[in-house]
Structure 1
Amino acid sequence: MGKSNLTRVLACLIACLIMVSMVVLPAQAEPLDTSAVSAVLIDAASGTILFEKNAHEKREPASITKIMTMLLALETIEQGRLQLDEEVVVSENAHREVDGDGSVVFLELGERRTVEELLIGIAVGSGNDACVAIAEHIAGSEAQFVELMNKRAQELGMTNTNIANVHGMPDPNHYTSAYDIALMCLEAIRFPQLLKYTSIYEYRYRDDPPLILWNTNKLLAWYEDVVDGLKTGWTTKAGYCLAATGQKNNFRLISVVLGCPVPRSHFQEAIKLLNYGFANYTSLLVADKGEVRATLPIVRGTKHELPLSCGRRLAVTVPKGEESNVTWELELSDDWLEAPVAQGTVLGKIIAKKDGQSVGLTELVATENVGRLGFGGLFRRVLTIWLAK
């Protein structure tokens, strides 16, 4: 090979190397390590697991248990069987917690507190006495309330959970898993009040003698622009635990870390998980709850057509850069309907897909009742149409 040819070949090779070096490869999520014994990170909109470590291992949850106590109270309010301003009289059993080893808000025997005040006492002060007081008020006894907690846990799919008390004090039969806690948190964040109460950092609970409650969830201060609620927990056996939720750009994540080894490590590990999720993933809204996405014509109905709305929020979580791989399809039960049609009747669905594979769906339901026209109504409709011509 001549000298000039060799020079040209070397120049081409150098040019190729420069071009290769300029190519930007797709971003890859960095491997994530955590000192938590078990952990999970999920997208709150879709329930997608973004990271997990021993997520189904049974562990003591300590005071994270209190999320379930608050959840049941708020569900009872939602059902109309309890009011936030309803007064609760503190029993001897609840007051007895003041002499125990757990955290309390120093409720006095016979003291009257509203349901909301007790919920704040649980959310901010982690009060075991407040847990017992509200449990007895709702179910008649702590034991009966624990039965309700276990029933609700099973309904939520918390298959590695058994609850022995309302506050999370150590008990061989009291356990759950990081994944089960995430399922519980998914349900809990449906209630704005729960996020409101668990995001309070400081609260004056009593004037005489003065009692200021301080939230043990330091992420409310350290990561205040993101984290807005849920609960810490600690016992010698459970280690340092935290269920935290936060959002950026309407993308909400739930992080659960259990068994962190040293003080404050649960905060550091939760921040690590949340930052990992926000840096590497995004959530695409396919359909919002209540959003009208289709209409169907109705034969012999009091209305000509019926709007169909989404039964629940449907979102898909994907690694950043893969947003274009998400599509959706609309499926309707029929081309038309015959009256009557009841509100809430399922008449179709929206299916979300990623790379052509189904990753979620929401049902489309009738937005209202549509009655059937009798002979008189049908005659008037025909006459109106005829006169309009």
Structure 2
Amino acid sequence: MSKIPKPILITLPILILAIAIYFSGQYLQKKANTQFSKTEVKKIAPLKKPAPFKKVEVEKFKRFNIADKHKNEKSAYRFPSTRNVRAGLVFEMNAGKTLWSTNANKSVPIASLTKCLTVLTVLDHIKENPQYSLLDQVLISKSSMKTSSSSFLRKYPKDTISVEELLVSAMVKSANDSCQLIAEHFGKGDPKVFIAMMNKKAQQLGMTQTKMSNAHGLPFDRSRPDLDNHSSMSDLLHLIRKSINDYPIILKWTSKREVLLPSSSHKAVKLGNTNPLLAVKGVNGYKTGFTLNAGWCQILTTRANGKFYFLVITGCPNKNTRDVTMRALMNWAVRVP
């Protein structure tokens, strides 16, 4: 029998030891991460029940009734063509000033813009109920993984996911399956309970032109387009103003170009933001959407010249038209004196 070469005899034990150290380290790290996450969930302080709104706050967030065909403001840029926009609105938040609108008070299909109300409903519910937390772990259901136009939860490397990760994936990647799981979780197994919570929230906010059939914005029934989720531009303006005032963290989520979930895992799922205008300085993103009935839609928030702007358009015939129109509207709006 031939002898094993001396170099191999020397390096083999070292190699075996290195492999053993690596895998033991992986095991200990995984154990530590699990222990840490459990500790964090226990340590989180319950949110106090919020005090009722003062009169000044109700006044501050009164619902706007936007006049259609608002007279265009003068700008250094020529006003762009909006003939392919079904309904839209450009609003300067600081001055409470409408720069442009069309069909702003008309209730139209809004596709995934729905998720803006989904997120606010969840955050308000957590704020009002100390037993809930953004760190709560939710068991991923088979029904949520079967949601149309979704693949996020099927790729997620764990059996449970935090409420915060569900909200982030909904706003960044427009994950329909995440919204379905949100509805199941906060509806205690029945998504219809959560849909009722969303509609109640809309009523409380005075969003009289808003009606929801699901938490994600997909067509409710292809043969009944009237059942699709509907809202108006003035309702959406009110919703977004309220959301970012009460929960600035939403803008932190929507401004991310991509996220890794879960961030601590080497098997994390990479989610790219659906908003192509994030590369523009000052843009915080917000939400995009599309269905055949709603067309291509987008809500955009941006800061420029010390001012904060809200823009929304719906009903565009294709993605390129939506993006070009939104970019042109933004360039025009931020140059209004």
Q: Distance in 1 between matches of 2:151 and 2:210?
A: 25
The AA in structure 2 aligned to 1:126 is: S
* TM-score (ref. length: structure 2): 0.68
Equivalent residue for 2:335, pick from 231, 254, 279: 279
Does the residue aligned with 1:189 lie in a helix, a strand or coil? helix
Instruction: Describe how 1:1-389 pairs up with structure 2 within 5 A.
Output: 28-29=74-75, 31-34=79-82, 35-81=84-130, 82-97=132-147, 100=148, 102-107=149-154, 111-140=159-188, 141-171=190-220, 172=225, 173=227, 174-190=229-245, 191-205=247-261, 211-221=269-279, 223=280, 225-280=281-336, 320=337
Structure that is richer in strand per residue: 1
Structure that is richer in helix per residue: 2
Aligned residues: 250
Q: Which residue of 2 aligns with 1:303?
A: none
Ranked by relative contact order (alpha carbons within 8 Å, sequence separation 6 or more), the top structure is 2
- Structure 1 residues 110 and 202 mapped into 2: Cα distance closer, same or farther (>3 Å)? closer
- Structure 1 residues 74 and 235 mapped into 2: Cα distance closer, same or farther (>3 Å)? same
- CA distances 1:270-308 after superposition (whole Å, capped 9, x unpaired): 22222222211xxxxxxxxxxxxxxxxxxxxxxxxxxxx
Q: Distance in 2 between matches of 1:61 and 1:96?
A: 22
Quote how far apart the aligned CAs of 1:211 are.
2.5
Q: Distance in 1 between matches of 2:255 and 2:157?
A: 28
**Structure 1 gaps, min length 5:** 1-26, 281-319, 321-389
Question: Between Structure 1 and Structure 2, whose CA radius of gyration is higher?
Answer: 1
Q: Distance in 1 between matches of 2:204 and 2:93?
A: 18
Q: Is the CA contact (8 Å cut-off) linking 1:59 and 1:177 kept in structure 2?
A: yes
Q: Distance in 2 between matches of 1:249 and 1:31?
A: 19
**4+ residue stretches of structure 1 with deviation over 4 A?**
29-32, 107-110, 206-210
Q: Is the CA contact (8 Å cut-off) linking 1:103 and 1:125 kept in structure 2?
A: no
**Structure 2 gaps, min length 5:** 1-72
Percent of pairs with identical residues: 32
Quote how far apart the aligned CAs of 1:233 are.
0.2
Does the residue aligned with 2:207 lie in a helix, a strand or coil? coil
Q: Which residue of 1 aligns with 2:39?
A: none
Q: Distance in 2 between matches of 1:178 and 1:212?
A: 32
Does the residue aligned with 2:218 lie in a helix, a strand or coil? coil
- Structure 1 residues 245 and 210 mapped into 2: Cα distance closer, same or farther (>3 Å)? same
